[in-house]
Amino acid sequence: MADKALVPILVHATWAKHATWTLDDSRFVKSLRQAFPAIQRVERVKWTGANSFEARRNASKEIVQKAGG
């Protein structure tokens, strides 16, 4: 039986919009790909990182969209 394709969605924390661990060439993403060969691609949510209701709402919409919802 073939493994299902995986598509992790990485979301940085508040005020961390330049978080390097979410980049494709980061050690974290490389480790994910090595540990889970079924990863098809890694999605990254690029939100402002602002601590506001509007910024978080917009980020949540992007997460839902990337998740196929």
Residue indicated by tokens 């969605």: 9
Rounded to whole angstroms, the Cα distance separating 59 from 5 reads: 24
Residue indicated by tokens 């709402």: 57
pLDDT (tens digit, 9 = 90+) per residue, 40-56?
999 999 888 889 999 99
Domain boundaries in the chain? 9-66
CA of residue 43 relative to chain centroid, distance: 5
Q: Which of 12, 26, 24, 19 is nearest to 55 (CA)?
A: 12
pLDDT (tens digit, 9 = 90+) per residue, 9-65?
999 988 888 899 999 999 999 999 999 999 999 999 988 888 999 999 999 999 999
3-state secondary structure of 22: helix
